[in-house]
Amino acid sequence: MHATNFKTRLNLDGSAVTGARIVPANVLAYDPVMRTLLAWTGVELISFDLSAPPTPIACILDAADLRPVTAIAPGELLSIYGARFVNGMAWQACGSFATSLSGITVTLNGVPSPLLYVSPQQINAQAPYEIASQAQAIMTLTSSHMNESDSRTLAVTARNPVAFLDTATPLASVDLSSNCRLDGLIYEGGPLPLAFNSDGSRNTCSNPAATGSVVRIFLAGLGVTVPAPVTGSINPSPGTPLNVPITFGNGMPATVVSAIALPGSISGVWQVDVRMPGNEAGAVAVSLSVGSVPVRDTNLTIWMR
């Protein structure tokens, strides 16, 4: 049995799994004696009890790039996924960000988290800035509708910069054989950020930015800045300038034109205007660091012509 990134081997009558692996990454196997799934991370062996009932929290991702988190920064936006948090429809925070929405509350070390969105399978929340001085945070999720609660312990880091990715356009769906204005394009599969050209249009392969022009991207997870942000607050207009330096990797001659708190957004979201090099074209890979901490999503692809 084969899937895009997963292979499983069955015995002759198909009644048991004799081996499984993720391609090309970690190796998994099934232990029929203990009835557990074993996964090798490259550092340690992890065992999964397949007969155990699912817990309310299935996984915690960064809301900007939808990648798993093991450490969180104050003010970071998080997406919590599970099988069922509430009954019925989704609820969206409007105007201000309450700490209880549709019977859901999330706390970190007892401090309530502002909730942006609640649905049966997903909760978006902000990590409170109040955890800044602590080494770890216990996230506790409570659903009064389902009469359930769950918790996870996460390390706290001062800064965990991430870029907002264009999650609506996964890498597999980028068609470079058609609808692309870039001749001779070499694309190495870097993450596609949520980016806008200087005219306000989306930066895509079919709508690249002119070389030397300004492209806008968005960052989060920058932690406590000056002036100190307030948990759950709305960024003012005009946005507060970012007081932390942004640098570029690989010797790229790009410059930051402006870096401000995104007006009208929840605190902790930043818009960064970058003047791209005048001698680059095609799928240009951009890597940034904020205050010497690399943005987790390296080699962001900006389309240039």
The enclosing domain of 139 has a CATH number of 2.60.40
**Residue 86 lies inside a defined structural domain of this protein:** yes
- What's the pLDDT at 210? 96
Task: Work out whether the CA dihedral 114, 119, 124, 128 comes out positive or negative.
Answer: positive
Domains of the chain: total: 3
- What's the pLDDT at 91? 81
Tens digits of residue pLDDT in 168-200: 665 545 656 556 878 777 787 789 999 999 999
Which one, of 188, 208, 184, 189, lies nearest residue 197 by Cα?
A: 208
In a shared domain, residues 75 and 35: no
**Residue 54 lies inside a defined structural domain of this protein:** no
Show Cβ contacts of residue 224 under 8 Å, excluding neighbours closer than 6 positions: 74, 75, 129, 132, 158
Q: Are 65 and 166 in contact (CB under 8 A)?
A: no
Domain boundary, last residue among 135, 156, 177 = 156
**Residue 1 lies inside a defined structural domain of this protein:** no
In a 13 Å sphere around the CA of 98, the CA atoms on its Cβ side amount to 12
Unique residue bearing structure tokens 């207009």:
237
In a shared domain, residues 208 and 292: yes
In a shared domain, residues 172 and 284: yes
**Residue 95 lies inside a defined structural domain of this protein:** yes
Neighbours of 291 (CB within 10 A): 16
- What's the pLDDT at 1? 37
Q: What is the residue range of 96's domain?
A: 59-156
**Residue 202 lies inside a defined structural domain of this protein:** yes
In a shared domain, residues 281 and 232: yes
Query: Does the pLDDT at position 11 exceed 60?
Result: no
**Residue 271 lies inside a defined structural domain of this protein:** yes
Instruction: Report CA-CA distances (Å) from 80 to 131, 152, 212, 268.
Output: 18, 11, 39, 18
In a shared domain, residues 112 and 241: no
- Dihedral of CA atoms 208, 214, 219, 224 in degrees, nearest 10, equals 180
- What's the pLDDT at 23? 43
Residues 227 and 107: their CA atoms lie apart, in Å, by: 24
Domain boundary, last residue among 128, 156, 184 = 156
- What's the pLDDT at 20? 47
Residues 122 and 175: their CA atoms lie apart, in Å, by: 30
Instruction: Report CA-CA distances (Å) from 40 to 21, 47, 48.
Output: 10, 9, 11
**Residue 127 lies inside a defined structural domain of this protein:** yes
- What's the pLDDT at 285? 93
In a shared domain, residues 13 and 44: yes
In a shared domain, residues 45 and 66: no
Residues 121 and 66: their CA atoms lie apart, in Å, by: 14
**Residue 248 lies inside a defined structural domain of this protein:** yes
pTM: 0.81
Query: What's the average model confidence in pLDDT over 63-81?
Result: 96
Residues 107 and 98: their CA atoms lie apart, in Å, by: 12
In a shared domain, residues 34 and 22: yes
Residues 301 and 291: their CA atoms lie apart, in Å, by: 22
Query: Does the pLDDT at position 36 exceed 50?
Result: yes
Query: What's the average model confidence in pLDDT over 67-73?
Result: 94
Domain boundary, last residue among 132, 156, 180 = 156
Mean of per-residue pLDDT scores for the chain:
86
In a shared domain, residues 203 and 272: yes
In a shared domain, residues 163 and 125: no
In a shared domain, residues 163 and 256: yes
**Amino acid letter for position 24:** P
In a shared domain, residues 194 and 89: no
